[in-house]
């Protein structure tokens, strides 16, 4: 059985590890990390790009702000 230097591998991959991953699991993690890095690099050309999750969160915040302002306006103007 091989012994792995898990702290060094975790540092290289940039993700936390449990410390008991098999070699096959480490290869899968490396593939996922590489795919994520490539995806981030692809979208780095578009600094204003929002992921669908970010867009959904921003819209929810905007809606909450609009409702808050409407409530304040109704309270002040009595309509």
Written as one string, the DSSP assignment of 16-63 is ---S---HHHHHHHHHHHHHHHHHHHHHTT-TT---HHHHHHHHHHHH
pLDDT average, residue stretch 14-39: 91
pLDDT band at 31 (very low <50, low <70, confident <90, very high): very high
First-to-last C-alpha distance (Å) of the chain? 75
* 39-54: pLDDT as tens digits: 888 777 777 778 788 8
């Amino acid at each position: 059985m091989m012994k792995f230097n898990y702290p060094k591998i975790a540092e290289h991959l940039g993700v936390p590890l449990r410390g008991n991953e098999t070699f096959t699991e480490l290869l899968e993690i490396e593939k996922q990390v590489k795919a994520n890095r490539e995806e981030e690099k692809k979208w780095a050309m578009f600094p204003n790009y929002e992921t669908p999750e970010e867009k959904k969160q921003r819209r929810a915040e905007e809606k909450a702000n609009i409702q808050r302002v409407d409530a304040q306006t109704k309270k002040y103007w009595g309509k």
